[in-house]
Structure 1
Amino acid sequence: MNEDDNVQRIGMRGGGDPSMKWIRSCVFSFALLVAGVAPAQELALVNARVYPDPQAAPIENATVLMRDGRIVELGTSVALPDGVAVIDAEGGTVTAGFWNSHAHTLPLPLREADTRTSAELGFALRQLFTRWGFTTVFDIASFPSDNAATLRRRIAAGEMAGPALLTVGMPFFPADGTPSYVEDMLDGMGAPSAEVATDREARERARRQLEGGSDGVKLFIGAIVDEGRRVQVMDTAIARAVVDATHAAGKPAFAHPTTREGIEVALASGVDVLAHTTPTDGPWSPALAQRLVDAGVALTPTLALFEVEVRKERAPEEVVARISGMAQQQLRIFHESGGQVLFGTDVGYIDLPDTRRELELMAGAGMDWRAILASLTTAPVQRFGHSARKGRVEVGMDADLVVLARDPARDPTAFSDVRHTIRAGEVIHSAHPNAAPEPGHGNAANDERR
């Protein structure tokens, strides 16, 4: 394995990355982890505090037994079969696997999924996603249009460990509305235009992408153009044509609103998820929040994004605080109105895979640890139609699990302190990559299932 190939910048923008020294130090350990990953038919987590779902009381000193990718036993006195692989949670907290409902496969090497090695791609997937507990990731706009699908196929084929990957493929920009901040990247890639000028064109492209395997669509209803000086708003008829085609396929429509006008177009067109708040456009009123809730619109707040973007423009810290505070106000009023919140980081556009700051900002906006856990687990599986198999730690559910070093009931930032990430009963990340599960020795304890 060529180390230089594996430590190329994981990000869209040029320049140095302060995390690169640490990344280089992990290359060899990660190679060992990948080499040691094999689909285990049976795996047990022992000595765990398990939160079955966001509202349930914890099960202390619990064991979770997994077989063929599903949870088959859960309780305090589970009989372990001889030879089962065992991970000692060391008193840590176990929850259902996390969902990142706003991410991108834009950075190198991920956007070259058809040509990069499995080691390169696996390393990037770990740094951006599985390191932070994400067992499922929704890529909500990428280029080339089939890149995320290629990455998904390679993960499914077992070439490298990675999350389950959903994708919207290529986004929809309004006419004359390619965002300024991606123009150079798209030109360098030779990517086709994502702009749509008529409702017929929009509807037909939506149908093609959905029939081709996209799991939803993403509309830039408010596109920032002219180097940030103007917002180009998508025509409502065009937005509605895309959303109607998407709903006919039984899939969700995401929207980047940017402004209050963009929110109105999103509401008029029937969008399912707002991909951001709109902090440069003033506070949200209780009436606006209630309209969004009544329309069944979910929100992915991406609060840390705004701090990153404003600081990138070298704005004074009081401006950063004002914009960040406005985004928190909008999340707070939406959450207090009963709105469904989805956790998302916009990683792949911004170079901030660490989830700690997002968690701090969400807690500061009034979301307690149970609400944050719901945004990571039960809310996305309900929104995207996976609640029959995912989102809870229960017998019969998929064995998508996260082992945390700390209890989030004491501090919500514990959701970023991940010891192990397990997808379909397979360890896809460990904070101690040289440590393999220990072979177990069956016991005669009585089974206590939940």
Structure 2
Amino acid sequence: MPKITVHLCATGALLMSLAMPAAAQTLAIVGARVYPAPDAAPIDDATVLVRDGRIAAVGPRKRVDVPRGVRVVDARGTTVTAGFWNSHVHLIAPPFHQPDAQPAAALADALRERFTKWGFTTLFDIASLPGDVRALRTRIERGEVVGPQLLTVDMPFYPEHGTPIYVRELWERTRAPSAEVATAAQGRSRAAAQIDAGADGVKLFADAIVGGQRGVLPMPKDVARAIVEAAHAHGKPAFAHPTDASGLDVALDSGVDVLAHTAPEAGEWSSAFVARLKADDVALVSTLTLFDSELRRENAPEPVVQRFVGAATQQVRAMSQGGGQILFGTDAGYIEVYDTHQEYRLMGAAGMDWRQILASLTTAPAQRFGQGARRGRVEPGFAGDLVLLRNDPAKNAEAFADVRMTVRDGRVIFDRDADSPAR
């Protein structure tokens, strides 16, 4: 075996910009099989040393010195990867609404049980009530609440008269301001205002399910384009919610960066369509569990469930085979399914192998959202975002859901083996 050189991290200006939660530890994870990245060879019987929130060294155990006095995790029999990203969640269910009024423990418990126990060190909230996720993020970064890195688009953009039928009660109950936009100027102005207030991107409903005779209402293309252009002018990504072929058309013509989920009602995706997505650098979030969960909740007939899930699976398969970028996401928070086993099963059914799934969880979102130089890999200098798995995903992709420990920026934020939850 060729010698593996172990480097200690430098403190460059970029790395110094990492945001670290309070109480980051010097931590040594010893004896694991490490997958440094989806395209890298595994390191067996390895040590990962994390110092000051960043990975200081990684390599075979005999070549990495572990300083005295550090916390050592015996990781024999486990697999270590970079921390996972969930690129489609909604932090809207209690206790996440008005988080400044919630006890820190309740917020930490909810984040742990719904997200960090599944390995997520970063969540991208892609539509929530105004200001909520930014406030929760502030409490996490101050060290009051234990949780993952949070990114958010804040409030979504609906077409005029297009508040989706399934969120109207929420909007009325919380008395949130309307998320509808009537003109390009209005869309551009609000997008800029939300980003200036701390949003990390925008999400537009390229078409919205409004019910009644209209059924699905598309957003005018000039409005959609204005929202996307405002996001891009601020260096931020634009997500789109598509329902059918008309929504896909609006999304692509407006220049969005990410499709928030598949669009089963649009029918099969051809290789030519996927080539267009790839040429336009448009990513797709998997969210396959969404359709199965929602249709079963509504007691849809089994043939209907299979038709929708089958169409969604075909679109992910076409994207994967065509070399398009796929991001992991579940729509958790809109659907009450937080367990990730089924998403991995469905991604496998769509023809994705474990390395492709790992990329969707790590390198792909880190690159897509501007953090590829500091997150998504187990390498010296990168953030100490790590997941310890009790089994090897190379043998079965559902092992990605069997999490023993989650570490964010050098701090353990979930430990299955602890006597009490990490706080």
Q: Are 1:200 and 2:189 matched, yes or no?
A: no
Indicate if the aligned counterparts of 1:180 and 1:227 stay in contact, CA closer than 8 A.
no
After superposition, where does 1:338-353 map in structure 2 within 5 Å? 338-353=323-338
For 1:212 and 1:401, locate their aligned partners in 2 and report how far apart those are by CA, in whole Å: 30
Indicate if the aligned counterparts of 2:414 and 2:421 stay in contact, CA closer than 8 A.
no
Alignment correspondent of 1:57: 41
After superposition, where does 1:266-415 map in structure 2 within 5 Å? 266-415=251-400
Indicate if the aligned counterparts of 2:50 and 2:56 stay in contact, CA closer than 8 A.
yes
Indicate if the aligned counterparts of 2:245 and 2:265 stay in contact, CA closer than 8 A.
no
For 2:316 and 2:111, locate their aligned partners in 1 and report how far apart those are by CA, in whole Å: 29
For 1:413 and 1:392, locate their aligned partners in 2 and report how far apart those are by CA, in whole Å: 20
In structure 1, runs of 5+ residues without a counterpart are 1-36, 438-450
Q: Which of 76, 79, 85 is residue 99 of structure 1 equivalent to?
A: 85
Aligned residue identity for 2:165: S
1:104-127 superposed Cα distances (whole Å, 9 cap, x missing partner): 111001122110000110011011
Alignment correspondent of 2:218: 233
Indicate if the aligned counterparts of 1:180 and 1:228 stay in contact, CA closer than 8 A.
no
Aligned residue identity for 1:118: A
1:212-269 superposed Cα distances (whole Å, 9 cap, x missing partner): 1100000011111126971110000000000001000000000001111111111111
| 3-state DSSP of counterpart to 1:110 | coil
CA shift for structure 1 position 40: 4.1
CA shift for structure 1 position 282: 1.4
CA shift for structure 1 position 281: 2.5
For 2:197 and 2:179, locate their aligned partners in 1 and report how far apart those are by CA, in whole Å: 16
| 3-state DSSP of counterpart to 2:102 | coil
Alignment correspondent of 1:434: 419
CA shift for structure 1 position 400: 0.2
After superposition, where does 1:197-276 map in structure 2 within 5 Å? 197-226=182-211, 230-276=215-261
1:80-135 superposed Cα distances (whole Å, 9 cap, x missing partner): 11111011113200000000000011100112211000011001101111010000
Aligned residue identity for 2:51: R
After superposition, where does 1:413-424 map in structure 2 within 5 Å? 413-424=398-409
Return the structure number with greater relative CO, CA threshold 8 A, min gap 6: 1
**Aligned length in residues:** 400
| 3-state DSSP of counterpart to 1:380 | helix
CA shift for structure 1 position 38: 7.0
For 1:229 and 1:58, locate their aligned partners in 2 and report how far apart those are by CA, in whole Å: 53
After superposition, where does 1:106-121 map in structure 2 within 5 Å? 106-121=92-107
Identity of aligned residues (%): 56
| 3-state DSSP of counterpart to 1:284 | coil
| 3-state DSSP of counterpart to 2:419 | coil
In structure 2, runs of 5+ residues without a counterpart are 1-20
Moved more, 314-323 or 90-99: 314-323
For 1:386 and 1:274, locate their aligned partners in 2 and report how far apart those are by CA, in whole Å: 19
Indicate if the aligned counterparts of 1:61 and 1:91 stay in contact, CA closer than 8 A.
no
* Runs of 4+ deviating beyond 2 Å: none
CA shift for structure 1 position 288: 1.2
Q: Which of 121, 142, 150 is residue 135 of structure 1 equivalent to?
A: 121
Indicate if the aligned counterparts of 2:117 and 2:403 stay in contact, CA closer than 8 A.
yes
For 2:117 and 2:95, locate their aligned partners in 1 and report how far apart those are by CA, in whole Å: 17
- With the length of structure 2 as denominator, give the TM-score of the two structures: 0.93
For 2:213 and 2:70, locate their aligned partners in 1 and report how far apart those are by CA, in whole Å: 56
For 1:237 and 1:431, locate their aligned partners in 2 and report how far apart those are by CA, in whole Å: 49
Alignment correspondent of 2:132: 147
Aligned residue identity for 1:129: F
For 1:378 and 1:183, locate their aligned partners in 2 and report how far apart those are by CA, in whole Å: 36
